[in-house]
Structure formats: C-alpha cells, structure tokens
Structure 1
Amino acid sequence: MKAEIITIGDELLNGQVIDTNSAWIARHLGALHIPVVHITSISDKGYAIKNALQQAEERADVIIMTGGLGPTRDDVTKAAVADYFGTTLVRNETVSAHVQEIFHRTGRKHMPAMNIGQADVLANAAVLFNDVGTAPGMAVERSGKYFAFLPGVPFEMKFLMENRVLPMLRNAYKSDVFVYNSYLLTVGIGESHLAEQIADIEDTLPPFITLAYLPRIGMVRLRFTGEGTDMEALTSITNSFKEQVVERIKDHVVSIDNRSFEEVLVQIFTDTGITLSTAESCTGGSISAQITAVPGASRMFQGAAVVYSNQAKMDVLGVLSETLTQYGAVSEPTVKEMAEGARRVFRTDYAIATSGIAGPGGGTETKPVGTVCIAVAGPSETRMQTFHFKNDRAINIERTVVAGLTMLWDILK
C-alpha cells in the first residue's frame, strides 16, 4: 500500500505559502503503515491537476489532493477532477444548507452566489462533510485506488483527515507489511562526524532496516525504519541496532524517541521541579518562544526579558554600566550579568542569556557580524561562551537559540 500527496496552488510554487499540509498528512499516513512515495505541488490549472492525477494513479494506491475547493474563479479542482473521472457535478442539499447556516451564524445576511457552488460535488463521490468550513471533501474509489479531495486550509484539511479519511483507511486498507520507525536525537555532533562514528554499525544493518540522517542546525535526528510482516520481531531488531548507536554516541544523545529538543528540556525541568527563565537580546525572545511552544511549559518556565538596549539591560536585569562601558553589550561579562540578573528577577534555578550581532549590519573589526555571546546561569555556576557565526541574520538567530539550549543541556548533565 503506497500513497501520494498532491497539493494545489500557485502560492505554493512561488513561495508565498509553505506547504505544511504534506508533512502533516505524511506523518499520519505513516502511522497507518502507508508510506508516501511521492509529493507533488502543482498550479491552479485544470491540465496540471489531471496530469498529476494520472501519474499518481499509476504509482500509488491512496491519492490525497488538497486545495482548489474554494468559491473563487481560481479554484478549479472540482471541474478538473470531474473531467478526469468522466463525471459531473451535482448539488448536495445537505452541504448547501450547511454553507447557508454558517453565513447566517456569523451575522452575514447575504451569501454571495459563488458560495452556493461549494455545495456542488462529484456525482460519483462520497461527500466528506466539513463541520468546520464551507468546502466539503470528496472521496472516490476506482479500480482499488482511493482518492480523497480536501480543502487546502490546514485546519479544515486536518479535520477531514482525522474524522473522515484516516478512519476509513484504518478499517479498509490493512497491509500485511508493517513499517516501524524508531528515532534518536543528537546534539553537538555534525552529520558527517556522526556518520563516521557509527559507520560500522550502519554497515551491519539488514536489508529490511534503513537509517536516515535528518540534520538541523546544531542537531541530527536519526530515523531507523524497518519493514516486515512480524511487527514484534521488527520492533525488537530495529531497536537493538538503535541501542548500539546510543551506546556509541551516548554523550550526544538527547532523546531516544521522536521528541524535539525543547520537549526534552521541558520534561526534564518539570520532572525535577526546577525552573527556567531567559534574558534575550539578539534572539529577541526566540528561545522563550521555542520553550513555551511546548505544552506544559508553564510548569517550569517563569518568564523572559527581551532587553535589546543597554538601558534595558541595566534597568531590567541590573547589568552594571561599568561592565557595558568596559566590555560592550556583546561580551561574556555582560551576558553573565544578564543571566544572573534573570535568575534573580524571575527567581529561577536556571537562566539563559544571549547578546550578539545578528546582522546584516552592526559588526566591527573586533566583533564582526555573527559574533554572539551566551551565558547559562545555574545554582552552582555560570558558564559563558563566545560564538562566531556567519552573515545571515535568520540563521545566526537560529544557531544562537540551539547553542543556548545546548549549553543548558550540558550544564544540566
């Protein structure tokens, strides 16, 4: 059983909108052991839609298409799909009543005529009723292949996948071949160095187990994927190889499951009853945003001070004017006082502080763009470190966030 995802929209092709739908759909299909073999983004053109469907039908068993189901003229999916299947569009009265009710409920007395067309569905399709929007989904089965046509709006797509499509796939499309994924997250070691250290283990992997390297700035996630007919044996064998890797690189291992670095840190702080705060200059609150994006962070994160100016550093955190005058804002003495000031102000066990020149301007001969100082203050010590990144502002900020979290991880260990 193989799947293909097709996303429709010129905005995806010109970079105005990032395709997050495909990643979400692929993860949830993977949980059903339905691997995605192809992902395609196409324009809002009838010929592109029909060509994509023809190619997908040749190489996949489950085809999920999102986008182009809205009421405007550029939404041509339904007409193109009807032509592809050699069928027509018919008015679904239940959907029509639902669309009108949404307009009335939101206080809009007049419903544009174009919205009435959202109740038109393929004559040969099963309607996937959309409780949270006006565009219904549609499902078609032909020659053992399953097609689902869903809105491109992410929250509507997710509702229909979770409540309509996935339950049907779970019950009707069961495979004798299982796919098992096991994950491992590392920090502080580059992809090539990691591959070099575990090359001999990777060489002994059996043909039914593959290892993928998923690098991000400052970290690498490893994914062990096994395929077989005996799930219990597959899980045991796959995890045995992962355990060998964990033992080999244990100083760099953060997580042995599919959690993010921030999720691991939040869990550790929560389980041990310790607290965290941040004092951020060049990162502008990015570290605190990463932490508080994790559910349950309120149990361990107390607060953040975004202190961009020197005056703010002094007023909020108590950084000494003498320190700023003698060493400058981008210096280890300054971030030391920032981190210790955050611990004091927010009454936390640990604090991370950042100050740097993210760019593209502001650099000097002695402190060029990319110079960043980070401090982590804890109950027994404060560690400082200076980094020299490159010229890209966004990447410098991302590197600083990861470096700060890694320093926190190191001091916790």
Structure 2
Amino acid sequence: MNAEIITIGDEILIGQIVDTNSQWIGQQLNKIGVSVYQITSIQDDKEHILNALKEAQERVGIVIITGGLGPTKDDITKKTMAEFFNDGKVIEYPEVVVHIQKMFKKYNIPYKKVQQYQAQLPSKATLLMNNLGTAPGMWFYENNTVFVSLPGVPYEMKGLITHQVLPRIQKKFKLPFIIHKTIMTYGQGESTIAERIEDFENNLPPDIKLAYLPSFGRVRLRLSAKGENKEELETALNAKVNEVYQLIPEIITGLDDDSSLEKKVGELLKKSNQTIATAESLTGGKIAATLVSVAGSSAYYKGSFVTYSAETKIKLLDVSAETIKKHTVVSGEVALEMARGVKEKLQTNYAIAVTGNAGPTADHNDKSVGLVYIAFVSDDKEIVQEFNFGQPREKVINRTVSKALEILQKEIH
C-alpha cells in the first residue's frame, strides 16, 4: 500500500516554518507497512488543493493532508474537501462543541460562536475526535482511496495519527511488513564505502535494497526489505548485516541511530568510570552539545570552555601568549595547550580541544580556511592531529565535531 502526504500552508512554502509533520508521518506509516510514494507541499488555495487531491488519488491508496483546519477564513481545507467529494451537506457534532467549550473554559478563553464552525463536517466525513485541540480530523473513503485531513499543529496531528488514523488503516488494509536495518559508520566517505562493498551490493537479492545516507563524517547504510513474512525478512536482513560487518568492521559503530559516536563515547566512559571535558574555538560549543545530547551524560561529561578569542584562551585555559604569538591561534601547539588547560581546570581523565579556521575568511592569521587542529589529552597520552576540511563554514564545523568524536572513540580505554 502506497501513501501520499500533502501539507497545506503558505508558511511552509515561504520557509517560515519547517515541515516536520511529513517526516514524522512517513516514519509512522512505514512502521505499519505503508510506503510513502510522494510528499507534496501546496498553498492555501482551493484550486491548488483540488488538483493535488485529484493527482494523489490517481497515484496512491492513502492520502494524508495536514494543515488548513480551523475557525478562520484562511482555513479553507474543509470547504475544499467538501467540494472535492461533491458533498453539500454539513453535520454538526455536539460532542465537538462541548469539547471546544471545555477547552476554552480550562484556559480561561472566551468562547465565541465562530468556534462552532469547527464542529461542522461534511456529511461524507468520518469524525476523528481531536482530544488535544479544537479542530477535529476527517476520514473519507471514495473510489478505493482513503483521504485523511488533519490539523497542522504537530502535537495534535501526532495524537490523531497515533490513536485514530494508524489503527483505522491497519484495520482496513492488509499490509506487508517493512523492515530496515541501519548500519552506522564513520571516518570514510560514501564513495570509498561503496567501492569496498561493491560486490556485496551487486549481489543483493531483488527484495533487499541498500541506501547510502551520508552526513558530515558519517555514512548510514540502510538495508530494507518488504514482504508478508516478518521472521523471514528479519533473518534475511540480519544475514546481510553480518556480511557488511565482515567487509568494513573497523568503521562500523553499530546499528541504528542509537549507535551514534557520541553514545559510543559515553558508553566507553561509563564502563571505565572516567570523565571528559572539552575546549572549543571554531565549533563554538557544538562538541559539548553533541556529547550532552546523550541521556545520562552528566555521569562522565564535566564541562566545556568555549574560547573563541585569543584573549579567552589565555585567560580561561592558561594558553601561553608566547605560544599564540609564535604559532597563531590556529596551530597544534595552541590546541594542545587548550586541551591541557581544560583537563587541569576541570580535573578529568580526558580532554579534547579544537581550534581552526572555519571561514569564510582566515581572520588575523595566514592559515588557510578549513585548517583545523584537534588535540587529545589523557593521563598518559597527548596527541595532536591536523586536518583540512575545505569549505564552506558549516562543513568545516560539522566535520570537526565528527572527527573529534572519532578520536575520542579510538583513544578512550
């Protein structure tokens, strides 16, 4: 079964908000065996909506629409849906009126007659009660296609999808199983990995697909299978995962997003009951933010110094002014003194520090844009590595973060 997601709202098209609804809906549909065929974003315009619905009906069996529901004049989805289904009759649901009144009373908001419009649905619609908001969802079925219209407010949409839409879809359709296994890698680019596992990829059976999902310093390898027998799919995918592990073992951190580098670093530190601190210049605290994104990181992460200027490096981390004068702030020598300084200040087992030129200009030194130094210090070891991550600025910063985490995973013991 294929589905299409249609998001309605000028605010999405002009970039005022990011469409996270479609991403989340796609994930939930995939879990129950529904493949998303297309995602479309359109204006709050009647003709545009009508065309999108007509085209979607020709492509898929499930159409999910978010946005454009409410009491105001610019919320035209309900009227347009009624026109699409040639439905001139309206039904008012007293339970929705009571629900809206209770919500307004709870938050001390005066109830206005205009709100009652939200309780009025086209007669061909099945009411989807929105317990978290005032605009109910609508379920239509015509010409072998399900149409679901939901409010665009994320938490309201999620409640309706979870408790009403997904159970109805599962009851109405016989759905296959869709299973993914995602292998997390680091340290090598997509093309290098593809070359190393080329024979494996060429010999995959037709019911198993491989996708490369690259980001800064990391590549996720997603193996996917779709079929009627869940156990057989699991067995087949696990066998292929094991093959990949044998081909590129040294760059794999684990399966799925739970095996991120930051989580692996945290697990190593917890296991050895050790601590770490960070000192950052060009990354502006992003290494710290990544490490503390892991639940329970307070057990091993002690803090960070973001020393963006030469003055703060000297004042907060005891970096020598002479070292800066001789080598500039973008140097291995300064990175090493930063790492030593933060380790001493926060009394940790490990420390890592970064300094470099993220761009777009080289500031007040002669070092090229993209040049980065990363220093690692432990109780018995000190290392400094030089990298050139090129441009643009965002790439340099993100690759610095990834490389710092790679070094930590390698060196912590």
Tell me the TM-score normalized by structure 1. 0.91
Counterpart check, 1:241 vs 2:240: yes
CA deviation after TM superposition for structure 1 residue 65, in Å: 1.1
Which residue matches 1:386? Answer: 386
The answer to which of 334-343 and 90-99 deviates more is: 90-99
The answer to which of 369-378 and 37-46 deviates more is: 369-378
CA deviation after TM superposition for structure 1 residue 114, in Å: 4.5
Q: Residues 173-192 of structure 1 correspond to what in structure 2 (within 5 A)?
A: 173-175=173-175, 177-192=176-191
Cα distance per residue 1:218-268 (max 9 Å; x no partner): 111011111233222221122212211111111111112343333343344
CA deviation after TM superposition for structure 1 residue 120, in Å: 3.0
Return the alpha-carbon distance in structure 2 between the equivalents of residues 114 and 399 of structure 1. Answer: 53
The answer to which of 313-322 and 222-231 deviates more is: 313-322
Secondary structure of the 2:133 match is coil
Counterpart check, 1:346 vs 2:342: no
Return the alpha-carbon distance in structure 1 between the equivalents of residues 349 and 7 of structure 2. Answer: 47
**Does the 8 Å CA contact 1:363/1:369 hold for their aligned counterparts?**
no
CA deviation after TM superposition for structure 1 residue 198, in Å: 0.5
| Alignment-mate amino acid for residue 397 of structure 1 | I
Which residue matches 2:289? Answer: 289
Instruction: Classify 1:391/1:103 alpha carbon distance in 2 versus 1 (closer, same or farther; 3 Å).
Output: same
Return the alpha-carbon distance in structure 1 between the equivalents of residues 296 and 160 of structure 2. Answer: 27
CA deviation after TM superposition for structure 1 residue 36, in Å: 1.1
Counterpart check, 1:229 vs 2:240: no
Return the alpha-carbon distance in structure 2 between the equivalents of residues 307 and 206 of structure 1. Answer: 53
Cα distance per residue 1:268-327 (max 9 Å; x no partner): 433443333221221111122222223333333222222222232233222222222222
The answer to which of 305-314 and 89-98 deviates more is: 89-98
Structure 2 regions of 5+ residues with no counterpart? none
Instruction: Classify 1:56/1:368 alpha carbon distance in 2 versus 1 (closer, same or farther; 3 Å).
Output: same
Structure 1 regions of 5+ residues with no counterpart? none
Tell me the TM-score normalized by structure 2. 0.91
Counterpart check, 1:132 vs 2:132: yes
Cα distance per residue 1:366-406 (max 9 Å; x no partner): 31222222223233323222222334222322222222222
The answer to which of 158-167 and 206-215 deviates more is: 158-167
Which residue matches 1:91? Answer: 92
CA deviation after TM superposition for structure 1 residue 111, in Å: 4.3
Equivalent pairs, count: 411
Which residue matches 2:318? Answer: 318
| Alignment-mate amino acid for residue 185 of structure 2 | T
Return the alpha-carbon distance in structure 2 between the equivalents of residues 345 and 56 of structure 1. Answer: 61
**Does the 8 Å CA contact 1:4/1:38 hold for their aligned counterparts?**
yes
Return the alpha-carbon distance in structure 2 between the equivalents of residues 35 and 24 of structure 1. Answer: 13
Instruction: Classify 1:179/1:325 alpha carbon distance in 2 versus 1 (closer, same or farther; 3 Å).
Output: same
Return the alpha-carbon distance in structure 2 between the equivalents of residues 249 and 325 of structure 1. Answer: 44
Which residue matches 2:301? Answer: 301
Return the alpha-carbon distance in structure 2 between the equivalents of residues 265 and 168 of structure 1. Answer: 42
Q: Residues 147-186 of structure 1 correspond to what in structure 2 (within 5 A)?
A: 147-175=147-175, 177-186=176-185
Cα distance per residue 1:342-383 (max 9 Å; x no partner): 223333333332222222234467312222222232333232
Secondary structure of the 1:179 match is strand
Q: Residues 8-407 of structure 1 correspond to what in structure 2 (within 5 A)?
A: 8-87=8-87, 88-108=89-109, 110-111=110-111, 114-175=114-175, 177-259=176-258, 260-363=260-363, 366-407=366-407
Cα distance per residue 1:22-69 (max 9 Å; x no partner): 111111111112111111111111112122212222222222111111
Return the alpha-carbon distance in structure 2 between the equivalents of residues 392 and 111 of structure 1. Answer: 52
Return the alpha-carbon distance in structure 2 between the equivalents of residues 127 and 269 of structure 1. Answer: 52
The answer to which of 362-371 and 273-282 deviates more is: 362-371
Instruction: Classify 1:331/1:166 alpha carbon distance in 2 versus 1 (closer, same or farther; 3 Å).
Output: same
Instruction: Classify 1:69/1:264 alpha carbon distance in 2 versus 1 (closer, same or farther; 3 Å).
Output: farther
Return the alpha-carbon distance in structure 1 between the equivalents of residues 120 and 352 of structure 2. Answer: 55
**Does the 8 Å CA contact 2:328/2:365 hold for their aligned counterparts?**
no
**Does the 8 Å CA contact 1:42/1:49 hold for their aligned counterparts?**
yes
Return the alpha-carbon distance in structure 1 between the equivalents of residues 285 and 33 of structure 2. Answer: 39
CA deviation after TM superposition for structure 1 residue 143, in Å: 4.1
Secondary structure of the 1:274 match is coil
Instruction: Classify 1:203/1:367 alpha carbon distance in 2 versus 1 (closer, same or farther; 3 Å).
Output: same
CA deviation after TM superposition for structure 1 residue 199, in Å: 0.6
| Alignment-mate amino acid for residue 92 of structure 2 | R
**Does the 8 Å CA contact 1:178/1:231 hold for their aligned counterparts?**
yes
